[in-house]
Amino acid sequence: MYYLSLYESLKVHAESVVKGNQFSVGEYCHSACWLIFKMSSFISRYSSNIDHSWNKVNIIDMADSFREISDNLDITSDNREIIRSNMDHLEKIKFAFLNDDELDVFAVEMNAYAPY
């Protein structure tokens, strides 16, 4: 659940940076990206079923983009594309996690593994 709350918060704040030109919010987004980065095992697990390429998400690049936006108080088209593509992938991870929930409940009942 921590991923879901962090992702939704990042999504709202990222939109305010990219669409609302609230560039100072980029610093919060930078911090949120690093918190998500620390969840690498979670990201890997739920990314593995998405287009068979779990490495499509590059949170470090996205964090760097938010830092650059915050420092320069401006956004480039490259920054927009990095943020858009990574947020799209993080959303796919969210849906993969939500869809996998029923399997996790079954696995816990069978003592197969403990989900996140």
With 0.85 as the threshold, say if the pTM is over it.
no
> In this structure, how many other beta carbons lie within 10 angstroms of the beta carbon of residue 54?
16
pLDDT in tens, 88-115: 999 999 988 888 766 666 666 666 666 5
